């Protein structure tokens, strides 16, 4: 199979010309673009969808449509778990490396419950999972799924637990058992929920495949540390008619960490770079295996191991993770990391210019400015926030330059600062006319005073000193 | 579909609709384990109605609705590649025999594969950790302070603690007291501090400045001369410094330059090119800027990953070992701030913030980590050791996570 290098192209290999050739080429502008070539470019950049080309949907263009669809198919299949608005999409990756193109579908994080937990505990874990919420630079970080594990080995118990879970949450489920009877009992309790079924292995694949087909649910394929078995199972299950697969090459902590990362990396490379379709499915990581290896360790230590294993898997291609530790301190770094890794790498390193308010500023509050380089902005913003003082911060449009390079490259000029003072309407919000400028912009302090009429106070070179500066030096 | 069916009928091919549906679904799979019944097929193929791939499906389609009864074998070939480039090896610290006083020197870099692609080839030099030691009191987060409060203000004792208790491979002495805005300590004062640390521990040292380009140059010059031959990593040389002067005293006295640029690969290349006029490639480590988890780590990660892949692909200006100021993780307020109870304790959240930042960058290719919290250091070292151990997973051991009884 390794010789099979054709097939779905990574984003890099797909050119707008290829797409253009298959489009109707009539420049009808119905899609809102100037012409078909512009549309083709946006298609390649995944900024528009194929369905937005109305003529392409006509019967006579069916062949071209299908051809394009095939060309645009991601090397990692997108698999949907769950129903309704909480359904999660797994995989759908277009590229291996983040700089090549935006990663689609952030790693879904599932928290586990078992069929032997007391009702109270089960409900409390579900509530905690659903209630997890953290506001971070305009995003709300959430958890995504509930994994129900069968620890009892009894179908009826599992069924009851799954029933309890679906009655209490709309979050998509992962049903975890290798016992087919147990799996079926679980599915009967959630027949329409489209849960992710874990897992088909070398022994039970036929029965699991039947269940997946019967309940129209996606199926995890499990072959711990045996990629040939894994892709063989994939090949078999595809032939069986099960299309929505998720791959579990095994997660191992401790000495197995190297194998774990290697397996994930090889599968993703084979899919994205080698055109290997049998590897082209979402990958499941199970950081909670840290609990299997608990030994004498304290719970906090295991949560710590689980959390850092999860972090490495988020970076190395996991599309879904099953975790047991449900503490805020251990989950927060990973939800933030996931958000970071899944941002658009093409996004200019800039934030929206304008006026930002911290705390509850009034007419006597200090006014500062910084640039719209995202890192500069977030650093300054967090420093002001941490000071717990109320302040206004003018974010000057510097085309994403930092303060020092902005001054040097004339992206940050006195004109721009003076304009920003005008445009933000800060003059109506404060009585004073004093602005604290970054220490690294001291060179243009005189010019700013001249152009804006505001008195300039040269602030610290590093924003970490802003809080102290405001306390010591600010007087309206 | 209607057309096709018509065609099939014309050709006398009687596939059940189920099968056709099935075939349509799998047109991408490759299946070759079946003998071909070709007569009808050839006829059909002449019509050109189906692409070749689908034809291969037909071979497979067994009588029983296409469902295989046996496992279909498909060997997985590890996707191993070779790369035209190699990350340069840089030696830090010098033993007596090498002209210095260190107990051992440490080599970083030398990689010929992306980070920890050990399915391709083993890691050449595992990443190392240098712990931060400050030469004067400064505000530290509670989680960090609790581990070092006895030694704050005593850099020699702090360095000893870092090496002997926390397992640091190297020590960074941050000469923040030289900052004109702080104590404005003289180059002579700085030399004295470095001397103390040098006496206290026998690991290679990183010499950290205060960030003032003029003052740093003066202090680095003095230290470089005084401790010629020690092969310190001078942290750092930046574009706003007198690069030529710095490069010359680094070279003349046998040290290593840390080429620091603000998160821009073009600037990194440019600064390295300026250094090449005076320094060998093996005298340069680069720092592409580390932003904290949640505060730009995405940029840092991608920048470093690109640099490493670029270096391996033959871009020599990026083929240097990378250093990361991972301590910057503590700039994220989530690392140190007291938050509402559901996010506590911060004593765990903080170091985990540093570990998460470190491990993310470990996977991007960082060779030298400048770190702060002992627990974060311990984890990074453990993980690195596991990744390079060459040991295989005990897969059986982890099979029962599904039925694992917790609590």
**What average pLDDT score do residues B158-183 get?**
95
What residue has token string 């500062």?
A368
Instruction: Give B268→chain A minimum CA distance, Å.
Output: 14
State the average pLDDT over residues B243-261. 97
Please say if the pLDDT value at position B61 is more than 70: no
Q: What is the mean pLDDT of residues B307-323?
A: 98
Distance, in Å, from the CA atom of A448 to the CA atom of A425, rounded to the nearest integer, reads 17
Altogether, the residues listed in chain B come to a count of 407
> Phi and psi for A59 in degrees, rounded to 5?
-50, -45
CA gyration radius for chain B? 29
* pLDDT digits 0-9 by tens, A64-101: 999 998 888 999 999 999 999 999 999 999 999 999 99
Contact B391 A258 (CB under 8 A): yes
Q: CB distance B297–A256 less than 8 Å?
A: no
d(CA B50, CA B45) in angstroms, rounded, equals 7
Structure token digits, residue A56: 């392409």
User: Of the candidates A99, A240, A462, which has its C-beta nearest B67's C-beta?
Assistant: A240
Closest approach of A46 to chain B, Cα-based (Å):
20
Which of A232-241, A246-255, A466-475 comes out lowest in average pLDDT? Answer: A466-475
The whole-angstrom separation of Cα A268 and Cα A273 is 8
Please list every residue in chain B whose beta carbon sits closer than 8 Å to the beta carbon of residue A333.
293, 334, 349, 352-353, 356
Facing residue for B394 by CB, picked from A227, A256, A277: A256
A239 pLDDT tier (thresholds 50, 70, 90) = very high
Which of A251, A337, A341, A404 has the most B C-beta neighbours within 10 Å, making it the best mutation to test the interface with B?
A337
**Confidence band (pLDDT; 50, 70, 90) for B138?**
confident
Condensed to tens digits (0 to 9), the pLDDT of residues A102-141 reads 899 999 999 999 999 999 999 999 999 999 999 877 688 9
Contact residues, chain B, for A6 at CB < 8 Å: none
* CA-wise closest residue to A15 among A36, A45, A35: A45
| pLDDT over threshold 60, residue A12 | no
Kindly report which listed range (A467-476, B82-91, B377-386) carries the lowest average pLDDT score.
A467-476
The domain defined by A11-72 folds into 3-methyladenine DNA Glycosylase II; Chain A, domain 3 (1.10.15)
pLDDT of residue A138: 66
Mean pLDDT of chain B: 85
Closest CA to B295 of B336, B344, B343: B336
A53 vs A405 pLDDT, higher one: A53
Cα–Cα distance between A233 and A332 in angstroms, integer?
Answer: 35
Stronger pLDDT, A435 or A476, i.e. the higher one: A435
C-alpha torsion A72→A78→A82→A87, nearest 10: -60
Please give the Cα distance from B259 to B194 (Å, whole number): 21
**Res. A157 pLDDT band, cuts 50 70 90:** very high
**Nearest to residue A68, comparing CAs of A80, A51, A54?**
A51
**Residue B293, number of CB atoms within 10 A of its CB:** 32
- Out of A312-321, B11-20, B179-188, pick the least confident: B11-20
- Tell me if A82 sits within 8 A of A171, measured CB to CB: yes
Cα–Cα distance, B222 to B225 (Å, whole number): 5
Contacts of A315 in chain B (CB under 8 A): 301, 359-360, 363-364
Residue B9 is predicted with a pLDDT of 40
> Given pLDDT bands bounded at 50, 70 and 90, which one contains residue A361?
very high
Which of these ranges, A15-24, A229-238, B38-47, B270-279, has the smallest mean pLDDT? B38-47
**pLDDT above 60: residue B57:** no
What pLDDT score does A28 carry? 92
Query: Residue ranges of the alpha helices (H) in B104-149?
Result: 142-148
Are A231 and A274 in contact, with CB atoms under 8 Å apart?
Answer: no
Let me know: does B182 contact B209? Beta carbons within 8 Å.
no
Mean pLDDT confidence for B43-65? 38
Q: Which residues of B98-123 are buried (b: 16+ CB within 10 A; e: fewer)?
A: bebebeebbbbbebbbbbbbbbbeeb
Contact across the interface for A378 and B22, Cβ inside 8 Å: no
Q: How many inter-chain contacts (A to B, CB under 8 Å) are there?
A: 274
Q: How far is CA A17 from the centre of its chain?
A: 30
| Kind of pairing between the strands at B106-108 and B90-92 | antiparallel
| Residues B372-405 pLDDT 10s | 999 999 999 999 999 999 999 988 888 889 999 9
Chain B neighbors of A300, CB-CB under 8 A: 348
Helix/strand/coil for A23: coil
The pLDDT-based confidence of B201 (bands split at 50, 70, 90) is very high
- Which of A226, A233, A228 has the alpha carbon at shortest distance from A204? A233
| Average model confidence (pLDDT) across chain A | 92
The region of weakest confidence among A398-407, B168-177, B250-259 is A398-407
Alpha helices in A424-454 (DSSP H): 445-452
Coil, helix or strand at residue A274? coil
Distance CA(B323)–CA(B300), nearest Å, equals: 12
The confidence band for A374, taking pLDDT boundaries of 50, 70 and 90, is confident
CA distance A35 to chain B (A): 31
Residue A409 confidence (pLDDT):
63
Among B residues 299-328, those touching chain A with beta carbons less than 8 Å apart: 299, 301-302, 305-306, 309
Q: How far apart are CA A292 and CA A247, in angstroms?
A: 21
Arithmetic mean of pLDDT, A299-312: 96
Torsion angle, alpha carbons of B188, B191, B195, B198, to 10: 170
Which is nearest to A199 in space by CA: A227, A171, A230?
A: A230
Confidence check: pLDDT of A261 > 80: yes
Q: Which of A262-266, B21-25, B177-181, B293-297 has the lowest mean pLDDT?
A: B21-25
CB contact at 8 A, B356 and B334: no
B99 touches chain A (CB under 8 A): no
Give A7's pLDDT tier (boundaries 50, 70, 90): very low
* CB-CB under 8 Å, A316 with B31: no
- Residues contacting A284, CB < 8 A, separation 6+: A198, A220, A246, A247, A248, A318, A319, A320, A321, A322
- Pick the residue from chain A with its C-alpha nearest to B212: A461
Which among B60, B356, B396 is the top mutation candidate for probing chain A, defined by the most A β-carbons within 10 Å of its own β-carbon? B356
pLDDT number for residue A135: 81
Residues of A in contact with B401 (CB under 8 A): 286, 288-289, 291-292
B404 in reach of chain A (CB within 8 A): yes
Q: What is the 3-state secondary structure (H, E, C) of B37-88?
A: CCHHHHHHHHCCCCCHHHHHHHHHCCCCCCCCCCCCCCCCCCCCCCCCCCCC
State how far residue A304 is from chain B, nearest Cα, in angstroms. 7
Listed by number, the residues of chain B in 112-151 with a beta carbon closer than 8 Å to a beta carbon of chain A are: 116-119
Give ipTM to 2 decimals: 0.84
Give the number of C-alpha atoms closer than 13 A to the C-alpha of residue A38, restricted to the C-beta side: 10
Instruction: Judge: B28–A277 Cβ closer than 8 Å, yes or no.
Output: yes
Mean of the pLDDT values across residues B47-55? Answer: 35
Distance separating alpha carbons of residues B128 and A201, to the nearest angstrom: 40
**Chain A residue with minimum CA distance to B118:** A262
Domain ranges for chain A, please list them: 11-72, 78-341, 354-473
Looking at domain A78-341, its CATH architecture is Alpha-Beta Barrel (3.20)
Task: Provide the pLDDT for residue B262.
Answer: 81
Predicted pLDDT of residue A267: 98
At the top level of CATH, the class of A354-473 is alpha beta
Please tell me what DSSP assigns to residue B89: P
- Asked if B79 and A274 come within 8 Å (Cβ–Cβ), the reply is yes
What distance in Å separates residue A210's CA from the closest CA in chain B? Answer: 10
Q: Which fold has domain B90-388?
A: TIM Barrel (3.20.20)
Contact status of B82 with chain A (Cβ, < 8 Å):
no
Locate B383 and state its tokens.
């993980």
How far, in Å, CA of A217 to CA of A211, rounded? 8
Measure CB to CB from residue A336 to each of B181, B240, B294 and give the nearest one: B294
Buried b (16+ CB within 10 A) or exposed e, B213-226: bebbbbbbbbbbeb
Among the listed ranges A44-53, B31-40, B86-95, B373-382, which one has the minimum average pLDDT value? B31-40
pLDDT at position B30 over 50: no
Q: Indicate the pTM of the whole model.
A: 0.84
pLDDT computed for residue B6 by the predictor:
43
Q: pLDDT tens for residues B107-128? A: 999 999 999 999 999 999 999 9
Q: Which residues pair with A308 in a beta bridge?
A: none
Specify whether the CB–CB gap between A367 and A430 falls below 8 A: yes
Q: Which residues of B touch A270 (CB under 8 A)?
A: 76-77, 79
Percentage of chain A modeled with pLDDT above 90: 75
Q: Does B401 touch chain A (CB under 8 A)?
A: yes
Q: What is the pLDDT of residue A459?
A: 94
Q: Please count the CA atoms within 13 angstroms of the CA of A407 that sit on its side-chain side.
A: 16
B43-71 average pLDDT score: 49
Taking a contact as any Cβ pair under 8 Å apart, which residues of chain B between 219 and 248 contact chain A?
240
**DSSP letters along A182-224, please?**
HHHHHHHHSTTS-PEEEEE-TTTHHHHHHHHHHTT--EEEE-T
Q: What confidence tier does B62 reach under pLDDT thresholds 50, 70, 90?
A: very low
Is 60 exceeded by the pLDDT of residue B355? yes
Tell me what pLDDT residue A385 has: 84
Q: Range with the lowest mean pLDDT among A192-206, A462-476, B243-257?
A: A462-476
Dihedral of CA A175/A180/A181/A184: which sign? positive
Q: What is the pLDDT of residue B34?
A: 31
User: Is the previous residue joined to B102 through a cis bond, with omega within 30 degrees of 0?
Assistant: no
Q: What is the pLDDT of residue B83?
A: 97
Q: Where are the domains of chain B?
A: 2-60, 90-388
Distances (CA, A) of B302 to A186, A335, B126, B253, B365: 42, 18, 21, 34, 10
Which pLDDT value is given to residue B407?
63
Q: Nearest CA to B202 among B104, B129, B134, B107? A: B104
């Amino acid at each position: 199979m390794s010789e099979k290098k054709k097939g779905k192209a990574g984003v890099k290999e797909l050119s707008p010309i290829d797409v253009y050739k298959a489009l109707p080429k009539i420049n009808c502008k119905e899609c809102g673009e100037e012409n078909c070539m512009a549309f083709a470019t946006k298609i390649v950049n995944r900024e528009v969808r194929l369905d937005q080309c109305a003529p392409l949907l006509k019967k006579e263009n069916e062949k071209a449509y299908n051809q394009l669809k095939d060309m645009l198919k991601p090397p990692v299949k997108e698999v949907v778990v769950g129903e309704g608005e909480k359904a999660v999409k797994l995989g759908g990756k277009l590229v291996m490396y983040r700089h090549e193109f935006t990663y689609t579908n952030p790693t879904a994080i599932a928290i586990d419950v078992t069929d032997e937990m007391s009702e109270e505990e089960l409900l409390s874990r579900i509530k905690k999972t659903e209630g997890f919420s953290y506001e971070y630079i305009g995003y709300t970080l959430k958890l995504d799924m509930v994994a129900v594990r069968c620890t009892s080995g009894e179908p009826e118990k599992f069924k009851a637990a799954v029933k309890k879970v679906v009655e209490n949450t709309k979050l998509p489920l992962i049903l975890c058992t290798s016992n087919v009877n147990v799996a079926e009992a679980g599915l009967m309790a959630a027949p329409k929920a489209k849960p992710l079924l874990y897992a088909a292995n070398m022994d039970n694949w036929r029965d699991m495949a039947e269940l997946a087909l019967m309940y129209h649910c996606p199926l995890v394929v499990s072959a711990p540390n045996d990629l040939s078995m894994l892709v063989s199972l994939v090949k078999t299950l595809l032939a069986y008619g099960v299309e929505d697969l998720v791959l579990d090459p095994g997660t191992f902590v401790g000495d197995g960490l190297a194998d774990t990362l290697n397996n994930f990396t090889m599968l993703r490379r084979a899919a994205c770079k080698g055109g290997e379709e049998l590897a082209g499915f979402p990958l499941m990581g199970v950081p909670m295996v840290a609990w299997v290896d608990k030994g004498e360790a304290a719970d906090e230590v295991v949560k710590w191991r689980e959390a850092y294993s999860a972090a490495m898997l988020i970076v190395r291609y996991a599309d879904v993770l099953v975790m047991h530790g449900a503490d805020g301190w251990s989950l927060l770094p990973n939800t933030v990391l996931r958000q970071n890794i899944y941002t658009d790498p093409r996004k200019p390193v800039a934030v929206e210019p304008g006026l930002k308010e911290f705390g509850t500023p009034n007419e006597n509050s200090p006014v500062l400015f910084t640039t719209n380089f995202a890192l500069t902005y977030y650093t300054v913003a967090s420093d002001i926030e941490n000071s717990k003082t109320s302040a206004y911060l003018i974010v000057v449009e510097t085309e994403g330059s930092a303060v020092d390079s902005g001054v040097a490259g004339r992206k940050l000029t006195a004109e721009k600062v003076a304009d920003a003072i005008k445009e933000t309407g800060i003059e109506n919000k404060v009585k004073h006319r004093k602005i604290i400028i970054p220490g690294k912009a001291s060179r243009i302090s005189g010019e700013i005073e001249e152009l804006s009429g505001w008195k300039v106070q040269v602030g610290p070179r590093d924003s970490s000193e802003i809080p102290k500066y405001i306390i010591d030096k600010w007087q309206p | 579909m209607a057309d096709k069916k018509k065609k099939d009928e014309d050709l006398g091919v009687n596939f059940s609709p189920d099968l056709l549906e099935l075939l349509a679904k799998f047109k991408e799979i490759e299946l070759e384990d079946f003998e071909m019944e070709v007569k009808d097929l050839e006829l059909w193929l002449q019509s050109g109605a189906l692409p070749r791939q689908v034809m291969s499906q037909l071979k497979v389609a067994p009588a029983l609705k296409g469902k295989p009864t046996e496992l279909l074998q498909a060997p997985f070939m590890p996707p191993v590649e070779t790369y035209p480039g190699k990350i340069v090896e840089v030696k830090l610290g010098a033993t007596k025999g090498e002209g210095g006083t260190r107990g051992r020197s440490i080599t970083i870099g030398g990689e010929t594969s992306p980070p920890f692609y050990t399915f391709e080839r083993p890691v050449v030099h595992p990443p190392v950790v240098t712990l931060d030691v400050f030469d004067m009191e400064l505000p530290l987060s509670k989680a960090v302070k609790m581990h070092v409060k006895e030694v704050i203000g005593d850099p020699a004792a702090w360095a000893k603690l870092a090496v002997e208790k926390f397992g640091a491979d190297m020590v960074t002495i941050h000469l923040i007291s030289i900052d004109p805005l702080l104590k404005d300590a003289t180059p002579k004062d700085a030399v004295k501090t470095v001397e103390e640390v040098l006496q206290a521990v026998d690991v290679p040292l990183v010499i950290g400045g205060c960030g003032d380009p003029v003052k740093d140059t003066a202090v680095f010059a003095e230290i470089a001369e005084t401790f010629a031959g020690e092969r310190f990593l001078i942290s750092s040389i930046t574009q706003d410094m007198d690069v030529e002067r710095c490069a010359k005293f680094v070279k003349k006295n046998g040290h290593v330059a840390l080429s620091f640029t603000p998160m821009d690969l073009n600037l990194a290349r440019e600064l390295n090119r300026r250094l090449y006029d005076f320094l060998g490639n093996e005298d340069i480590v680069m720092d592409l800027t580390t932003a904290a988890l949640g505060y730009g780590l995405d940029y840092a990660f991608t920048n470093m990953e690109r640099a490493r892949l670029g270096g391996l692909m033959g871009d020599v200006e990026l083929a240097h070992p990378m250093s990361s100021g991972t301590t910057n993780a503590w700039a994220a307020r989530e690392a140190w701030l007291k938050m509402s109870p559901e996010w506590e304790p911060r004593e765990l959240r903080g170091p985990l913030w540093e570990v998460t930042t470190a491990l993310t960058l470990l996977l991007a290719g960082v060779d030298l980590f400048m770190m702060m919290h002992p627990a974060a250091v311990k984890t990074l070292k453990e993980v690195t050791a596991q990744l390079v151990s060459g040991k295989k997973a005990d897969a059986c051991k982890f099979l029962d996570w599904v039925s694992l009884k917790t609590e």
